[in-house]
Amino acid sequence: MKFEKTAIKLGTITLLVTGILFGSTVGGLQEEVYAKSAVVKKSTSVKAKGTFIGLADNQSFEVKFDQDTKIIRLLEKNKHLIKGLKKGDLITISYWVNVKGQNILGSTVKKETIKKGTKSTSVRASGTYMGMADQQSFEVKIGKNYKMIRITGDNKHKIKGLKKGDSITFTYWVNVKGQNILGTTLKKK
């Protein structure tokens, strides 16, 4: 038995653990138990934008950020913040990391809105229609580059009658998944 003071760093949280270290060997296994106190020295809230994936279980949900996917734990007092979210929703959240290294939802969940087809988010382009890539997308050549443009149900009629090599002018917008979505205009030149 000996007195010990140590700091344990977990991401942005540093624990300052002080107390008595009890050591014992049972069946060849070393067991150590800290007694007294564990005090959080520093805790930082993180605010981040990501895509809501869905519930992982009754106590947590998944969010895809730029480089990785994180599980965010819910508390009873903040479960209401995620009501109404759907898979693919772009959200801004605040969270912090607890002493177990778990990401805990803070007090902020804001659903971001993207207005499709508005002048501020739509792009006008001209190119050569290259044909359907699948049932929901067509390919267009703009200069030397090719783009895939997704078609929503209300725009499918606009591509009828187009043939490979037709010159077209169209508008599109980019959704939260980075997909190019056909806007309100598609005309054959």
The token pair at 82 is 């995620």
Label residue 68 by pLDDT band (50, 70, 90): confident
| CA dihedral over 146, 147, 148, 150, signed as positive or negative | negative
Q: What does 22-47 look like in DSSP terms, one character per residue?
A: EEEEETTEEEEEE-SEEEEEE---EE
Residue 120 has pLDDT above 80, yes or no: no
Q: Comparing C-alpha atoms, which of 158, 114, 164, 169 is closest to residue 139?
A: 164
User: Could you tell me the pLDDT band of residue 163, with boundaries at 50, 70 and 90?
Assistant: very high
Q: How far apart are CA 101 and CA 124, in angstroms?
A: 47
CA 143 to chain centre: 33
* pLDDT over threshold 90, residue 27: no
Domains in the chain, CATH or no CATH each:
2-42 (no CATH), 46-111 (2.40.50.140), 123-188 (2.40.50.140)
